[in-house]
Amino acid sequence: MRDMGYRIRLPSELTEQEEFISRYSNYFNTFEVKVKDNITSASCVQNIMTLAKKYLVTIPSFHIIKDALYNQQSLEKSKIFFQALEKAESDLPIVLVTHYIPKKEYNSELPKQIGNSNFILALENIEVDEDVLDYLDGLKYAATTLGAKICLDIGHLLYSVSKCEENETYILGKIANDVWWKENIVEFHLHDFDSQGCHLNIGRGNINLRLIASFINIFPNARIIFETTIDDLSVQGVAEVKMFEEELTQYDNPRDF
Ligand SMILES: [Zn+2]
């Protein structure tokens, strides 16, 4: 089965973290931890990795600070987190996600450190309100320059496509038919969207599940992280992931692009 789970915020208390992760792992095989100030201490990072290895079937990923590569303060904090993570676990190919915004001065120091480790840096697309293809080209260029991979946020992408009144099949086809994207997408973020915004539960907005399932099936090795707003992961979360798994099985047609 493909790795699928949720983006989670962990409590700072180590025992509460164990309660959360042990319960969570009954339902899902991976998660993405949002790195907040409350979990950057070395003991906390160590605890998360110990618990992840104890309970999860596969490796987790981390969403580091979104402006980590172009904001000095965020860079410094992220370097501390990176060092703590490397100390806790240096062997696994853990994905570290951060955002790409055009026209920023990207600092290559952290990407270099990550490049010299077993971890994988992944740049994520954000919401844009003009020229989606131009933004994607910039993302591809930045990732190539920094030696990073891609976390493709489907919700952000399709919300942007609809806001810019562009054609979603055409844009997805540009990605699906480009070898570079095929080789470099390591993770998907998934959430529904409507004209008001993103991060809706799947099925609550305008997402075309058939199209998305066929698209994601072109990338069989990329993990899927749900970024929806579900309160009860053990019931609604399980149902959401199961529903999407069924869509993936039902719609497997790369010719759609
Ligand atoms: Zn995302």
Q: What pTM was computed for the model?
A: 0.96
Give the largest Cα separation in the chain, rounded. Answer: 49
Domain of 60, CATH number, reads 3.20.20.150
CA pair distance 68, 88, nearest whole angstrom: 21
**How close is the Cα of 122 to the center of ligand 1, in Å?**
11
**How close is the Cα of 124 to the center of ligand 1, in Å?**
7
With a CB cutoff of 8 Å and minimum separation 6, the contacts of 87 are 42, 45, 46
The amino acid at residue 14 is: L
Identify the burial level of 54 via C-beta atoms within 10 angstroms of its C-beta, where 0-12 means exposed, 13-18 middle and 19 or more buried: exposed
Identify whether the C-beta of residue 46 lies closer than 8 Å to the C-beta of residue 18: no
**pLDDT tens digits for 156-184?**
999 999 999 999 999 999 999 999 999 99
**How close is the Cα of 208 to the center of ligand 1, in Å?**
18
CA pair distance 184, 10, nearest whole angstrom: 28
Tell me the residue range of the domain where 105 lies. Answer: 4-256
How many domains, in total, are found in the chain? 1
The arithmetic mean of pLDDT across residues 108-125, rounded, is 97
**pLDDT tens digits for 53-90?**
999 889 999 999 999 999 999 999 999 999 999 999 99
In order of 45, 62, 118, 203, the CA distances from 36 in angstroms are 11, 10, 22, 29
**How close is the Cα of 200 to the center of ligand 1, in Å?**
12
**pLDDT tens digits for 223-252?**
999 999 998 999 999 999 999 999 999 998
Taking 80 as the threshold, does the pLDDT of residue 256 lie above it?
A: no
**How close is the Cα of 125 to the center of ligand 1, in Å?**
8
DSSP string, 159-188: HHHHHTT--HHHHHHHHHT-HHHHHHEEEE
Backbone angles phi, psi at 105, to 5 degrees: -85, 110
pLDDT bracket for residue 40 (50, 70, 90)? confident
